[in-house]
Amino acid sequence: MDWIGILTEASKQVKQTIMPLVGTALAQETYGRGAGGDPKKHIDLQAERALVKTLLNHEISFTLISEESGIKTYGEHPTCYVTTDPIDGTTNTLRGLPFACSSIAISKIPRLDAIEVAAVADIFHEVVYVAQKNLGTYRNQERVESTQITELANVVIGIDFNTWKVAELTKKLNRILLHTKHIRHLGANALELCYVADGTIDAFIDIRGKLRTTDIAAAALIIEEAGARISTLRNTPLTNILSPTETVAFIATGNPQLHQIMLKCLKQV
Ligand SMILES: [Mg+2]
């Protein structure tokens, strides 16, 4: 099965469905809370529907693990898990702030370390990241590699500070904040992880413990296949189950040396 082709097509369908909705009142209409706990917006549901429709058109039977609809089976004999956050960065999308993506990950078992194929599509730009286990990461058909930078003073780091417990968080990140100048948070974690994969930024940290595995399923493989690293704060692999309610804290960096340096900073607090 040409999974890369199918996921690329699904990403395109999702984009075509949601772009006309950006900026409309309809996009914002809310129908209770999604499986991940966030308000379920019209635009999120339409994105998920476009993905499901594309997979069904290819006669794929699957179990969907979605931030919006939760866990649902399509077809008679599901052969794989399709883990998705149809729109990561809904707030950005609704405001027309051009940083958001759609994530799709395929696996035989519902675990973060079992992803075999992944796609993350930039919603506002003509950019799709795809990865296949042991076959590398590609950005619009071009192979990508992560950064080799290791000096903290020169790195650009994404950090998700989006929590009420921000004071607690900055204490833990103190050493990193002291030694770096360039901190960013762009508002769509899966896409920020793809930016680590292709060296646009050098690292991304989310130690809130709030991010769902559905958010990073695709990006985790994209990171690893680009030669970058992603791990728990104890430097162990991410092996969490894929579920809209399972959360994860992690650090992702462009190379093993930078990974060690940043983990050490986190430990020294
Ligand atoms: Mg979402």
Q: What percent of the chain has pLDDT over 90?
A: 80
Q: How far away, in angstroms, is 7 Cα from ligand 1 center?
A: 18
Ligand 1 midpoint to CA 41 (Å): 9
Return the domain boundaries, the chain.
3-143, 152-267
The answer to whether the predicted template modeling score (pTM) of the entire model surpasses 0.75 is yes
* 3-143 topology per CATH: Fructose-1,6-Bisphosphatase; Chain A, domain 1 (3.30.540)
DSSP line for 184-239: E--S-HHHHHHHHHTTSSSEEEEEEEEEEHHHHHHHHHHHHHTT-EEE-TTS----
Q: Helices in 121-188 by DSSP H: which ranges? A: 166-172, 174-179
Q: In this structure, which amino acid lies at residue 187?
A: G
CA 209 to centroid of ligand 1, rounded, Å: 17
Q: Which of 129, 151, 155 is nearest to 140 (CA)?
A: 129
Which DSSP symbol is given to 111? Answer: B
Tens digits of residue pLDDT in 190-244: 999 999 999 999 999 999 999 999 999 999 999 999 999 999 999 999 999 999 9
**Residues around the ion ligand 1 (C-beta < 5 A):** 67, 85, 87
pLDDT in tens, 17-51: 999 998 888 988 988 888 878 888 899 999 999 99
CB count within 10 Å of CB 186 equals: 17
Phi/psi for 99 (5° steps) reads -145, 95
**What is the Å distance from ligand 1's center to 113 Cα?**
21
Q: What is the rounded average pLDDT for all residues in the chain?
A: 94
Q: Quickly state the pLDDT bin for 269 (edges 50, 70, 90).
A: low
- Hey, which residues does 84 pair with through a beta bridge? 66, 104
Task: Report the share of the chain in percent with pLDDT over 70.
Answer: 100
Q: What is the DSSP string of 71-99?
A: EEEESSS--EEEEEEEEE-HHHHHHT-S-
**Cα-based distances in Å from 122 to 48, 88, 129, 154, 202:** 15, 10, 8, 26, 19
For 206, residues 6+ apart whose C-beta sits below 8 A from its C-beta are: 159, 160, 189, 249, 250
The CATH number, out of the four listed (3.30.1200.10, 3.65.10.10, 3.40.50.2300, 3.40.190.80), of the domain defined by the range 152-267: 3.40.190.80
